[in-house]
Amino acid sequence: MQYKKLLSGAILVAMMPVGQAMATVDASSDAALNADSQSAMSAPATAKVSSSDCSVGFLSRFAAAYREDAEPADPNAPATPRRAMPAPLDSPPFPNSEWQLGGVDAPIGVPDTNSQYPLEKALSCTAFGQWMKNNRIEVFGWINPSANASTSNTSNYPLSYATRPNRLEFNQWVLNIERVPDTVQTDHVDWGFDISNLYGYDYHFTTMKGVFSNQLLNNPAGANEPLPGKIYGDDPMLFYYDLYIPSVAQGMEIRFGRWLSLPDIEAQFSPQNYLVTHSILYTVDPYTQMGVMTTTKLNSQWTVQLGVNGSNDTAIWNSAARPSLQACVRWVSKSNDDMLYPCVNNFNESDYNYNNVQMYVMTWGHRFSQSFHMLTESYYMYGRNVPGFGPGETPGITGSSPLPGKAGEYGIVNYLNFELSPSNMLSFRNEFYNDQKGQRTGFATRYTSHTVGVTHWVSQDLEIRPELRYEHSYDLPAYDEGKKSSQTVALLDAIIHY
């Protein structure tokens, strides 16, 4: 039980500055009301502490940053120069303002629009903070707890990441340290890097074989646990170096290291998603690759990507690695209302080994208006000569064949996303998935899932997301570890940025 005490303590410590900031706001409001009721001879209230006030301590600046971020943004702030089409979407409330493009921090020609979060603001008065500022290095992160109420009792899988039903969950504690290359300018080579570490329950899905993977792969599931591995684990999810070369076409980025799988609408990091849960389609596909990836901007409409890696979720130094090709093309219409993003997310000629599946993906985005857009993704994925999936399988027992064989799956997911106000977003997700032999979910069945959720931005540092999801398996019971054909789950999470 010690880890639970540690997690509770970590959350309380992380929330202290938020509470202090809220208390400061409340105290300031009370002081203002009292001042109005007092005579003009009353002494003026003490000025608020600023996050840039180097005469106060770190925690005071940290709390002040939360209070400042809760104030309305300046509507007259000048737009950041860009060498690309105007941003098609509003963020917030949407998780991103650009059309989808993996393998880069932002499409080439788009400036770094990351907000400056409280930790970075509070560090600005220190020598380390000044060094980071002078070198354009950013440090930030978030804590993501959640809660769910489910009709299942033992497992919510293949719902992710909240696979443990009817409980509070500590999903993510993420720390990012990064430098984003300046791809707006075209007069010099630039560079960047990203080191992102994730701790929490979600490591079950993000772990790469050969990178701290023993905590997942060498620990069987505990009693009443739906997934193998330690309950909470650590995953250094991203570590890469970027080199930007402006003289190639209209700019090329070369990425060396471990990156997020390119084509998905959804992402591993909580703030990058429209909803709390993930589609089945996303849950069972590849998460990260390691190798070399190039992204080249041909013009404002066309971008091409080509890379080589050690196959899906496998470190290049691990014996399970297989040399693989990754290739994508992104097209955006002149009106900026449509985007197509076909990808060969993984291709090689090897048999199945760890997560070595061949994957072909297409994503389409369409903007009906600035406040309403749609995203649709479909893929076909399969493994060659997967042990246990050849002819002669025992009916009802997945992977029971004495021979290897091909195991394939395909699906489609659609998002309808509405901007209700600058701080509120509504999203509907509907999907169909067919795990033809059950190699991905453990059950050879067709699925549908239907999800609705809201994202409310309390401030740029706090997101609250309620969600309701219903799903069904058609060919055999696949929910609650094979006991039920349907599942309904209500969820609520919070993303606390720091």
State residue 46's pLDDT score. Answer: 58
In 10 A of CB 135, how many CB atoms?
A: 8
Residues 21 and 143 in one domain: no
Instruction: Tell me the per-residue pLDDT of 35-87, one tens digit each, with 9 for 90 and over.
Output: 344 433 344 455 688 999 999 999 999 999 999 999 987 778 888 899 999 99
Q: Are 456 and 445 in contact (CB under 8 A)?
A: no
Question: Does the pLDDT at position 425 exceed 50?
Answer: yes
Spell out the residues 6+ positions from residue 34 whose beta carbon is closer than 8 angstroms to its own: none
Average the pLDDT over 403-407 and give the result.
Answer: 96
Residues 261 and 376 in one domain: yes
Instruction: Report how far residue 286's alpha carbon sits from residue 184's, in angstroms, rounded to the nearest whole number.
Output: 31
Beta-ladder partners of 472: 448, 486
Q: How many domains does the chain have?
A: 2
Residues 314 and 446 in one domain: yes
* Integer CA distances (angstroms), 379 to 15, 264, 410, in order: 40, 10, 6
Instruction: Tell me the per-residue pLDDT of 243-276, one tens digit each, with 9 for 90 and over.
Output: 999 999 999 999 999 999 999 999 999 999 999 9
Say which residue, 37 or 401, is predicted with more confidence: 401
Percentage of residues in the chain with pLDDT exceeding 70? 91
State residue 489's pLDDT score. Answer: 98
CA angle 395, 397, 402 (to 5 degrees): 85
Nearest to 435 by CA among 157, 151, 155: 157
State residue 79's pLDDT score. Answer: 83
Is 257 within a domain?
A: yes
Residues 179 and 260 in one domain: yes
Residues 127 and 54 in one domain: no
Q: Are 141 and 497 in contact (CB under 8 A)?
A: yes
Instruction: Report how far residue 336's alpha carbon sits from residue 89's, in angstroms, rounded to the nearest whole number.
Output: 10
Residues 336 and 466 in one domain: yes
Show the domain range for 221. Answer: 118-497
Instruction: Report how far residue 158's alpha carbon sits from residue 284's, in angstroms, rounded to the nearest whole number.
Output: 8
CATH of the domain at 406: 2.40.160.10
Instruction: Tell me the per-residue pLDDT of 142-200, one tens digit each, with 9 for 90 and over.
Output: 999 999 999 999 999 999 999 999 999 999 999 999 999 999 999 999 999 999 999 99
Beta-ladder partners of 141: 175
Residues 419 and 488 in one domain: yes
Give the confidence band of 442 by pLDDT, cuts at 50, 70, 90: very high
Over the chain, what is the mean pLDDT?
A: 91
Instruction: Report how far residue 83's alpha carbon sits from residue 110's, in angstroms, rounded to the nearest whole number.
Output: 6
Residues 13 and 145 in one domain: no
Question: Does the pLDDT at position 7 exceed 60?
Answer: no
pTM of the model: 0.88
For every residue of 360-391, which 3-state class applies, written as one string? EEEEEEEEEECCEEEEEEEEEEEEEEECCCCC
Is 76 within a domain?
A: no
Q: Looking at this protein, which amino acid is placed at residue 34? A: N
Nearest to 451 by CA among 291, 281, 302: 281
Instruction: Tell me the per-residue pLDDT of 306-359, one tens digit each, with 9 for 90 and over.
Output: 999 999 999 999 999 999 999 999 999 999 999 999 999 999 999 999 999 999
Is 108 within a domain?
A: no
Is 92 within a domain?
A: no
Strands in 261-404 per DSSP E:
288-297, 302-309, 324-332, 338-347, 358-369, 372-386
Is 263 within a domain?
A: yes
Is 193 within a domain?
A: yes
Average the pLDDT over 450-476 and give the result.
Answer: 97
State residue 171's pLDDT score. Answer: 98
Residues 65 and 127 in one domain: no
Residues 326 and 178 in one domain: yes
* Integer CA distances (angstroms), 215 to 161, 209, 210, 235, 288, in order: 18, 10, 11, 10, 18
DSSP assigned state of 123 = H
Residues 265 and 205 in one domain: yes
Is 353 within a domain?
A: yes
Question: Does the pLDDT at position 375 exceed 60?
Answer: yes
Give the confidence band of 396 by pLDDT, cuts at 50, 70, 90: confident
For residue 488 the two structure tokens come to 């309904």
Residues 141 and 55 in one domain: no
Is 266 within a domain?
A: yes
Instruction: Tell me the per-residue pLDDT of 411-421, one tens digit each, with 9 for 90 and over.
Output: 999 999 999 99
